[in-house]
Amino acid sequence: MFSTAALLPLVAKLGEYLRSAGEQAKRAAASGVSVAPDAIALVLVREMAGWNPTINGREVLDAETRHAGARFLAGIAVNVVVGKKETA
């Protein structure tokens, strides 16, 4: 399929976006604003707009995958900064 080495640049960049999401969540929490993962994800999608990673020469982000990835990273950031919501 693909080597681990081929994933390293992708994973490194995702780490940068996770850091950005964490910073956004910290700012929102510090200002007393409700920290919404969907709002942070929208910012991340804009940040990711020019990013077109490839693995083995194939582009791996379409619009749906970019949005899903941004929401995933935003959810992680909020859970780390604010804490995971308890569900019944």
pLDDT tens digits for range 56-83:
889 999 999 999 999 999 999 999 998 8
51 has a pLDDT exceeding 70: yes
pLDDT confidence band for 86 (50 / 70 / 90)? low
Determine the pLDDT at residue 5.
87
pLDDT in tens, 10-38: 999 999 999 999 999 999 999 998 889 99
Structural domain boundaries in the chain = 4-80
* C-alpha separations of 14 from 19, 56, 85 in Å: 9, 18, 23
Determine the pLDDT at residue 8.
92
* Coil/strand/helix, residue 59: strand
Cβ(19)–Cβ(27) below 8 Å: no
